[in-house]
Chains A and B, each alone.
Chain A
Amino acid sequence: MMSCKVLVVDDEIFVCKELRKFLEDKGYEVLEAYDGDQAVSLYSQERPDLVLLDVRMPGKSGLETLEELKALDPEASVIMVTAVRDSELALQAMKEGAFEYITKPINPEYLELAIETKLTLGRG
């Protein structure tokens, strides 16, 4: 099976690195972006299967990035990652087309479950 491409977007490099390791262990191909603009350009080039998008970032925010990604590809699968459980923000993200939102610190088991569900069901 062709490995799935996951784009991890987070301004904190350690988080990106750790997520890369975690996802690569699971057999995914991982791309990293450290801000919104980078994420959008990377997405248009690589067309990843899934995006893990941090909400709080300097420059372009997670929500704005989400909007652009969705404009680029309405089928894009995005999981929002937030530090704070902010229901309004989460709801807005869902409305914009995010598939799921998870809070930091990321629960690895839940993240794995969510990605698998999305990748097996969402693109079936």
Chain B
Amino acid sequence: MSDKREFKAFSDWRGKFVLIISGAAVLLILAHLYFSTQYMEDSIVEQFQRHQVTVTGGMVKGIKARLRNIAAELSLQLAKDPRILGRDRSGYAAALQGVYEELKGFVHGLYRIDTRGVILMRYPPKQERLGQIVPEKALLKKVLAAPGVTILGPFSSLIGEYIVSLVAPAFEGRAPVGAVRAVISLGDIAHEFILPAKVTEHSYAFLMDKRGLIFWHPRKEYGGKTLEEIGRGAFFKMFPWAKKGEAQDGSFRYKDGAGGGVELVAFSSIDVGGQGLVLVLVTPREDIAGPIKEYKRRNGAFAGLLLLIVAFVAYKYTDSRNRRVLLEQERDHFLRERELAEEVRASEAKSRALLEGSPVCIKLLDLDFRLQFMSAAGQEMLCITDINPFYGQPYPDIYAEPHRARITEHLERARAGKLTSLEAPAYDMEGREGWYHTTFVSVRDGDGRVEYIISTSVDITERKQAEEELQQSFEELGLLYSAGQTVIKGLDLEETLGFIVRETPAFLGATHCYVLLVDEDRNELVGVAATEPYWADFQAARIRMDERSAAAWVLTHNEPLVSSRAWEDKRLNQRLTEQYRVRSAVFLPLFVRDRHLGVLIYAHDEQEGAFDHLDKETLSRFAGQTALAVANVKLFDQVKATRDYLDTLIEQSMDAIVATDRSGKLALFNKGAEELSGYRRDEVIGRRGPVLYARQDDAKEVMRRMREGDGTVSGFETTFRSKDGSLIPVLISASILYDEDGQEAGAVGFSKDLRVRKRAEEALIQSEKLAALGRLTAGVSHEILNPLTVIILGLHRTINNPDTHPEIKSDLQGLRDQADRITKIVEDLLYFARYRLPERRSIDFNDIIKRTLSLLENELTLRSIAVDLRLAEEIPVVSADHDQIQQVILNLLTNARDAMPDGGRLVLSTEMVQTDGRKFVELRVEDTGEGIAPEHMEQLFDPFFTTKPEGKGTGLGLSICKGIVEAHEGSIRAENVPEGGAVFVVRLGVEERKREGE
């Protein structure tokens, strides 16, 4: 009995063991099935959701970038053709057509609209549109106040299709007279950006507004009806998240009652011209269900197999149990015991053999996580030829180092009685990495204590690889868009190029990157940017287009070129390859609409074949994005330059430019107008009626003449009243600005300040009067001088005649003095009569001094006056009137001569001086006469002041000198020299240029 009991106890223990094993295995399999399915489904769905958000983000960026690109192109075109804003109505059609041809392919139609939104003209011509009102009328007011192109829309009512319009106000001066409106089909843009971007095969995207109104949908039908039938404007009621989508980007799971599956919907809002749009990306359930179903099928097959094994084990156990009952009945307990033991051993061996034969890797671990058993499939999976050395070894060691801690964590959880699973990579004996999905479950004994841990692993390497590839391609897509977006954001060429060379090499696995742009004038590629530290070497790079180089090749062939081994690649210019440290490279052409922009070169300085993994399509798209960005930036630069130029033109004009709008309000008031009138523009802009005219009637007269004539008036003389009340004579040229209807849209006037001209005219008249007087005087004086000569000679002769009575002699001497006085007066009159405005030309100061001196040299010698000439050698050219300066020098020399009646020394010197940053030539005329009496100093240069005896001077000489010197913006002064005598100092400003001939 006791044997039997013992046997029974033994048998129970073995039975329990088998039962526990079988039960645990079933549990494990079911749990694995449940959890892994659940887990996989979630993970797949999440993956799709992430991708969706990336893709919608990319599409939105793309759409926006394209709209901005078109807007920029439009501004450029508008700026290029002034007729588009002109008043000449005959020019409009041609101008519109010109702009349309440039924008063809982007723009559906170009409209000229007036300020009320009425269509005045359309290109291509469509008669029925004329006179209609554009749908964005309500927004126009704001748009017209802002310069540049504004993006509006989308709207639908006009062309039956959803459109975005770009509106650029047309200004005449400051007053908007209408606008040019370019219409873009949302469909075109959608076709370009939305259709090609896909998450899965059947995914599609559409646009709706925040009310759920569909704007664009790629499907021709929906819910059995065509879109035309339900109307494109139908509310897409299925999605109540339109509002939510507008508020935030994201992805949602949508459970449709009919299919029961999950449909994924991603939202991304686009702010197009103030109209909030929502981009909806739908990934249909069949695309997601596919991968899930596939996984479930494989998982199910695996689970079924496991169940079969368990069922077999259980069956064997039941079988052995029956036998045990038989043996019990025979009561041969030892024998039975042995037999049973044999049986159980056999059964164990069989189940072990079964486990061994399982296609799944099944492992048995003790509570210290040491490997106790591994199925043959597992050994094969890991390429283990002899399992024995692994038994008793810590199980986590099988895995790669970084994952061991995670495995241990999961094992500890399993030891605590929890079911747990993970995905981790492990290396097989040949060093290959594989990914495994592993589940752990604990096995308890009858008392509920954990005895073993069972682990099952499935090889998921292939799936993981597929996933990674998918992930990578999505990442690439995301990077592409984010790169494009970042590049587009910076509208500064240098910044953009800086970003490209700094940030993008990492995307493609390059160490550095070079950018070359085409210089069309020289037909060569010019290095404009390179990743540091390569820039220093690269900045002088010039590659001729006809030179043999890969850069020129990709540009002419418009396709990327990948060079795995650059140093032996015959297509590359080896000189450049060596110079720019290229081991392997990819050359990308930058093209925008058939225009060569340049070449982008990504290079690796060590690794060969660094770019072999990149496919042509990815490269082309990358290059396309970059090219678009560079083109955009260049375009903006041009637009900005054009606009700045026009602004500067108006602002810097010497004329006062004033314009009024349709209602007669002042709309433009340039700097010239501010300077002329003394008003600041903010004081007068918006004021009605003539602000500047001194006589209101003149303003009316100008308008009348323009209206009765051809709309313009030129050369109308009138008077303005400035802010301080002073009257300013002006010459006005003005034009009425007409809109397309021939209605007056405002007026613009250009006014010239006549004061400047009047002053010049007065001076001219004055000088002409003087010239006439001069001619008269010269004629008369010649006539006077001859008789005077006769008189003087006669007097002289009579006075010196020894027969003449002394009293008569004395009387005659008095007459002689008066005759000499007449001489002096006539000479000065002659000079005054010849006075005129200086006729300046470049003169050599030293030369004039020498020439003038030569006129007097003999006389000075005769009068015992020694001349000391000290002329500076290097004297710059002076801009002055030759004759007048000569007159000054002559007068000063004559003065000096007269100051030394008994002879003396005359010092003439020139030198360069500099005062207050201005350069002067200084002339000093020094005599050794008596000097100037202090009381005379002040009056010295006054007209008619003279110290000479009556009859010797008119007192005009120095006054003439002063007048001339001051007319030359120079100065003259007199001083006494300590040694006795006087010095006259003349200073004349120097021209800021070298002497002629140097």
What residues make up the interface of A, taking CB atoms closer than 8 Å to B? Answer: 12, 14-15, 18-19, 21-22, 25, 56, 83-85, 87, 90-91, 94, 100, 104-110, 113-114, 117
Contacts and interface: CB of A to CB of B under 8 A. Distances in A.
Nearest to A111: B793
A107 B792 contact: yes
B893 to A, nearest CB: 12
Given A22-B797, A83-B781, A84-B781, A91 B851 contact: yes
A33 to B, nearest CB: 16
Nearest to B886: A87
Contacts of A90: 855
Interface string B758-801: 00000000000000000000100110011111111110110011
Report which residue of A18, A21, A22, A109 has the largest number of chain B beta carbons within 10 angstroms of its beta carbon: A18
B852 A15 contact: no
A84 B826 CA distance: 10
B947 interface: no
A108 B796 contact: yes
Contacts of A19: 793
A105 B788 contact: yes
B789 A84 contact: no
A106 B778 CA distance: 17
A83 B793 contact: no
Given A85-B827, A91-B854, A114-B858, A105 B789 contact: yes
A107 B786 CA distance: 12
Nearest to A21: B797
B862 A21 contact: no
16 contacts: A15-B786, A19-B793, A21-B793, A21-B794, A22-B793, A83-B781, A83-B782, A85-B830, A87-B883, A87-B886, A87-B890, A104-B788, A105-B785, A105-B791, A105-B823, A114-B862
Interface string B851-864: 11011001100100
A50 B787 CA distance: 23
Q: Interface extent on B, as a size class? A: 20 to 34
B819 interface: yes
Contact of B786 (A21, A94, A104): A104
A11 B886 CA distance: 30
Interface in B787-822: 787-794, 796-797, 800-801, 819
B792 A105 contact: yes
Given A105-B819, A105-B823, A14 B778 contact: no
Given A18-B797, A25-B797, A84-B782, 19 more contacts: A18-B794, A19-B793, A21-B793, A22-B793, A22-B796, A22-B797, A56-B782, A84-B778, A85-B827, A87-B851, A87-B855, A90-B855, A94-B854, A104-B785, A105-B789, A106-B789, A107-B792, A110-B862, A117-B862
Contacts of B792: 105-108
A100 B858 contact: yes
Contacts of A56: 782
A18 B851 contact: no
A113 B785 CA distance: 21
Contacts of B858: 100, 114
Nearest to B801: A25
Contacts of B801: 25
Nearest to A117: B862
A75 to B, nearest CB: 19
Nearest first, the 10 A-B pairs at minimum CB distance are A105-B788, A108-B796, A104-B785, A105-B789, A18-B793, A83-B782, A83-B785, A18-B790, A22-B793, A14-B790
Contacts of B830: 84-85
B925 to A, nearest CB: 17
